[in-house]
Chain A
Amino acid sequence: MKHVPQSAFDIVAKLRGATRLEDIFLVLNSNGRIFGYDAFVMGHLPLAPTQTLLDCAILSGWPAAWERRYHTERFVHVDPVIRHIRHSVDPFLWREALDAPGRRDGRLVLDEARAFGLAEGFCVPLHHAGGGESGVSFGGERFAPSNDERAALHLIGIYALSAAQAILRRKACADDKRPTAAHLTGREIECLKWSAAGKTAWEISVILSISRRTVEQHLASAGRKLEAVSRVHSVAEALRRGIIS
């Protein structure tokens, strides 16, 4: 069974280097044979009763017909696996989710999944600092992972979820509005204006009657907010965004 750990480490290395969700998808989609799964899905738990699979899924390798059925029937609110994610920090087999109290009514979801080639499955949950849960589920017709395979999928699942989270966070940051003049303080803008006019930090400290150290702090803070790498860059960015003219 030596090849399972090594495969797991190779896959984790690829996930650590993933810069797009497609990279993660390709890695998880192409390695099923090693561990015995046919399909996988990654998503976060529904945040509202109105949400369905399409709102929650981050990556789906589920058979398309099952996706449609799951979405139309709003199974994301009935699925015992989803409910079990809330209560478990450790990975579990889908059938273990049924053993938990009050989950028997969710059995119909797992029974229907069978018809789409997903008779058995294994889920790796992740609870996020600050709230919220997500998970990645691996499923298949004859999927019976050994202890080693489960340990490997546990590690792979965590890294896949972490990589996806990082990519989504970067996307969210990029989509945020750039800091406008309102995000820089009056003093920061003043210091930048004088810097743009060619004044040194010492000269600015005399002009504004504050210490040179304070001027440096204002310029450094402005630089951080503008994501600039140098004072010249700060001035250029501020000009570009119309914060100073």
Chain B
Amino acid sequence: MFRILSGDIDVSDPDLADRIYKFRHAYFVEYLRWESCRRRDGRECDQFDGPNSIHILGEEGRDILAYARLLPTTRPHLLSHLYPEILQGGAAPTGRRIYEWTRHAIAVQMRESAMATAFSNVVSGAVAYAAEALDLEGLLVQLHPSLIARLIETGWDAEPLALPTKYQGSYLVPVYARLTEQTLLTAQAAFTNWRGARLHVSREFIRTAAADVPTPVLG
């Protein structure tokens, strides 16, 4: 159901890359109305997409149900290069074990289903398991302040890095979401409650010892 892909798919699987960028366009431009992301070719793709970015994909057959993009903080990312002003002079943690969680998106049929919250929990769980496989300490995330409640609910330890400010008309706050035991327990519960929930992590991504990889994650 879920898998991790490297940004190399732009070259190695352009058909999949295309489907991903079109999914993102439908969500961020058509649904959320992020006009600054609109592109004439209908593929939402920015300067941070590239071989070092990581895609987390949730699929059923050829349908993309959920998506998230992780960017290494050791390279330019949104908080360092797109809107550093939202930090208002504060500092954000960066490093090899910290990625930035961006472009989190859920397909319309899952958003509007009766199981929307359960599915949303599963997606958060997939991101947590991915972070675990990548041996990350935590994720930088910029979001609407009310979504901090969702982060906390899904077991992340959310630390604010600055006060909320307005960015392109909406409130935005930078947060550092630490991966904890509680995050993984919540992920486990979410996966248990969703038939078929699995995260496939190919060997290239596993940075923890093989023995540490949690059960619903298949190597």
Main SS of chain B's interface residues?
mixed
Considering only CB atoms, which chain B residue lies closest to A169 in the complex?
B153
The reply to whether B160 and A9 contact each other, CB–CB distance below 8 Å, is yes
The one of B117, B144, B153, B165 that contacts A89, using a Cβ cutoff of 8 Å:
B144
Main SS of chain A's interface residues?
helix
Is A195 among interface residues, defined by CB-CB distance under 8 A? no
The reply to whether B163 and A155 contact each other, CB–CB distance below 8 Å, is yes
Is B152 among interface residues, defined by CB-CB distance under 8 A? yes
Separation in Å of the A178 CB from the closest CB of chain B?
Answer: 17
The reply to whether A158 and B145 contact each other, CB–CB distance below 8 Å, is yes
Is A66 among interface residues, defined by CB-CB distance under 8 A? no
The reply to whether A162 and B192 contact each other, CB–CB distance below 8 Å, is no
Is A39 among interface residues, defined by CB-CB distance under 8 A? no
The reply to whether B149 and A151 contact each other, CB–CB distance below 8 Å, is no
Which bracket fits the contact residues of A?
20 to 34
Q: What total of chain B residues lie within 8 Å of the partner, measured CB to CB?
A: 25
What 0/1 readout, one digit per residue, does chain B (145-158) give for beta carbons within 8 Å of chain A?
11011101100011
The reply to whether A8 and B163 contact each other, CB–CB distance below 8 Å, is yes
The reply to whether A158 and B149 contact each other, CB–CB distance below 8 Å, is yes
Separation in Å of the B66 CB from the closest CB of chain A?
Answer: 15
The reply to whether A126 and B117 contact each other, CB–CB distance below 8 Å, is no
The reply to whether A12 and B160 contact each other, CB–CB distance below 8 Å, is yes
The reply to whether B149 and A155 contact each other, CB–CB distance below 8 Å, is no
The one of B88, B120, B157, B164 that contacts A155, using a Cβ cutoff of 8 Å:
B164
- B residues near A (Cβ < 8 Å) are 88, 90, 116-117, 120, 144-146, 148-150, 152-153, 157-160, 162-165, 171, 173, 192, 215
